[in-house]
Amino acid sequence: MNRTNTNIIFGEVETMKRERRPRVLVSRKIPEAGLELLRQHCSVTVGAEDGMLKREELLELIQDQDAFLSMLTDRVDGELMDVAPELKVVSNYAVGYDNIDVEEAARRGIAVTNTPGVLTEATADLAWALLMDAARRVTEGDRLNRAGQWHEWAPMFHLGKEVTGSTLGIIGFGRIGRAVAKRAAGFNMKVVVHSRTPLDPEEEKKWGVTFLSLTELLQQSDFVSIHAPYTEETHHLIGAKELAQMKSSAYLINTARGALVDEPALVEALQTGTIAGAGLDVYEDEPRLAPGLKELDNVVLAPHLGSATWETRRAMALRAAKNIVAELVGIGESTRVLG
């Protein structure tokens, strides 16, 4: 081969490398606005229209990808990174990222991003929906009505818990915890909070809350709403001991992560009347429920609906897509977790 032909071939190869669009794997279908943005800059593969990708399918599809738009249900660990040598960014379609080994990603120079802020209000709304539903036994009453078991109005029929004027305990006081606290003002509630970082007097005054230890919060609250991040330290943050510290008339609300609550202990507490009721949107082994949970009338079981509004899911899709475009193409800024 002469030098001229060699130069032409190498030139063509270099041109192809420069023109190759970044490859992005989207775990499953997301709102079209996010996909449209990605397609403007990248070659996009959507793993599944509906349903989760099986692990073996994910490991096959990820192999030549530059970016991965992952769901909370996708485990992003060393095994996945091993088969994806081109991977440069993991954009999680969620605020939380406990499904990702962020330390391993950082070690390999892989950026990890999430979608903070955009789902705050929707999740706070859902926490309140569960609180109101559990307190006033709405879903339980709906079941009675549909089964033809409501026969007449009666003074002592289907009584619930008054929300207005009660004490609300919030565990975790980040964006969502604060949004929940703001809504409590409309119900003239006393709000007490507990978080990893204590609040100073000025912050307490600003938000109209009182900072307490976890034990004090559990003992004083009529409603306990969990908004803490999930870590090794917060695994089963609420267990049998903590449930026993709550009032027997109190309700537990969880829209954060299922593993923050020891579900078998919660089932027992609900069965025995240790607490009055609960409202759950998340579960430790989703979509499976702890044995005995679905048989209970004093718990509202939502199917992980915290961010499930058209507006919020679209905003999440755009944020996740913008994170990838920023990391791969250099347009805009990403919301990095680590990397």
Considering the domain boundaries, does residue 94 fall inside one?
Answer: yes
Q: Is residue 239 part of a domain?
A: yes
Where does the pLDDT of residue 67 fall: very low under 50, low under 70, confident under 90, or very high at 90 and above? very high
The whole-number pLDDT of residue 83 equals 98
Of the pLDDT bands very low, low, confident and very high (cuts 50, 70, 90), residue 328 is: very high
Q: Which DSSP category does 262 fall into?
A: -
Q: SS3 letters for 173-241?
A: CCHHHHHHHHHHHHHCCEEEEECCCCCCHHHHHHHCCEECCHHHHHHHCCEEEECCCCCCCCCCCECHH
Asked whether residue 1 is domain-assigned, the answer is no
Q: Are residues 67 and 179 in the same domain?
A: no
Same domain, 224 and 152: yes
Q: Are residues 266 and 161 in the same domain?
A: yes
Per the annotation, the verdict on 304 as an active-site residue is yes
C-beta of residue 193 within 8 angstroms of C-beta of residue 169: yes
175-184: average pLDDT: 97
Average pLDDT over residues 184-197: 97
57, 286, 295, 311: the active-site residue: 286
Q: Do 140 and 112 fall within a single domain?
A: no
Instruction: Say yes or no: 104 and 130 in one domain.
Output: no
| Same domain, residue pair 154 and 290 | yes
Please tell me whether residues 260 and 314 are part of one structural domain: no
Query: Does 192 share its domain with 160?
Result: yes
What SS3 state is found at 27?
coil
Taking the alpha carbons of 302, 304, 305, 307 in that order, is the dihedral positive or negative? positive
What six digits make up the tokens of 193? Answer: 């909070």
The residue annotated as part of the active site, out of 236, 304, 314, 336, is: 304
* 230/257 Cα distance (integer angstroms): 6
pLDDT above 70 (res 17)? no
Q: Are residue 267 and residue 319 in the same domain, yes or no?
A: no
Residue 257 appears among annotated catalytic residues: yes
Sequence-separated (6 or more) residues with CB below 8 Å from residue 190: 166, 167, 168, 210
Residues 280-290: tens digit of each pLDDT: 999 999 999 99
| Rounded mean pLDDT, 138-144 | 97
* Sheet of strand 111-113: strand arrangement: 43-46, 23-26, 67-70, 89-92, 111-113, 336-338
**Mean predicted confidence (pLDDT) in 244-253:** 98
Torsion of CA 57, 58, 61, 63, to 10 degrees: -120
Structure confidence at residue 3 as a pLDDT band (50, 70, 90) = very low
- Residues in contact with 137: Cβ distance below 8 Å, sequence separation at least 6, in sequence order: 158, 160, 277
Distance CA 25, CA 57 (A): 12
Return all residues near 272 (Cβ < 8 A) that are at least 6 apart. none
Given a cut of 90, whether residue 2 has pLDDT beyond it is no
CATH code, 160:
3.40.50.720
Q: State the pLDDT confidence band at 243, using cuts at 50, 70 and 90.
A: very high
Q: pTM here? A: 0.89
Looking at the fold, whether 235 and 144 belong to one and the same domain comes out as yes
Instruction: Please check the confidence at residue 145 and state whether its pLDDT lies above 70.
Output: yes
In a shared domain, residues 293 and 314: no
Using an 8 Å Cβ cutoff, are 92 and 113 in contact? yes
- Work out how many domains the chain is built from and give that number: 2
Domain interval for residue 64: 10-117+310-338
70 and 192 inside one domain: no
Is 5 a domain residue? no
- Considering the candidates 23, 227, 257, 313, report the single residue annotated as catalytic: 257
In single-letter form, the type of residue at position 19 comes to: E
Task: Tokens for 17, please give them.
Answer: 């490398």
Strand-strand pairing, 336-338 and 111-113? antiparallel
